[in-house]
Amino acid sequence: MDWQGQKLAEQIMQIMLLVFAVTAFVAGYVLGSFQMMVLVYAGSVTLTGLITIPNWPFFNRHPLNWLDPSEAEKHPKPQVTVISKKKGSKK
């Protein structure tokens, strides 16, 4: 998933859970059954999980542009020279 996709996944997850929670509560209250509320909610959590957790393609619409390996070889990484001070060394 790319960055935009992650943000989208999180938003979808939060909104879906809240909407389905309200739906489940209203359904349970109208039907007069606590069990119905919990069942509807459990189903909706599973559905939300199926939509937001796996790495679907629509989450990857703004892919990151990694540098091509052949291009990277032309510009070698700068070497970091380490100057170590040895104690008691005479120069």
Partner 1 sequence: MHSFGYRLNGLLTFAVTILALMCAITSLSDNFNTPSPSAEIKIMNINWFQKQPQGHDEVSLTMNVSADLQSLFTWNTKQVFIFVAAEYETRKNSLNQVSLWDAIIPAKEHAKFWIHTSNKYRFVDQTGKMFADKIVLTGYSLPEEYR
The two three-digit tokens of residue 14, written as one number: 């939060």
CA distance 68 to 70: 6
Of 42-81, which residues contact partner 1 (CB under 8 A)? 45, 48-49, 52-55
- At what angle are helices 3-31 and 34-52 packed, to 10 degrees? 170
Q: What region, left, alpha or beta, does residue 85 occupy, with left being phi > 0 and alpha being psi -120 to 50 degrees?
A: beta
Tell me how far, at minimum, the Cβ of 6 lies from partner 1, in Å. 4
In the complex, least distance from residue 76 CB atom to partner 1, rounded to whole angstroms: 29
Binding mask 7-46 for partner 1 (x = CB under 8 A): x-xx--xx--xx--x--xx--xx-xxxx--xx--x---x-
Return the H-helix or E-strand segment holding 80.
none
Q: Applying CB under 8 A, which residues contact partner 1?
A: 1, 6-7, 9-10, 13-14, 17-18, 21, 24-25, 28-29, 31-34, 37-38, 41, 45, 48-49, 52-55
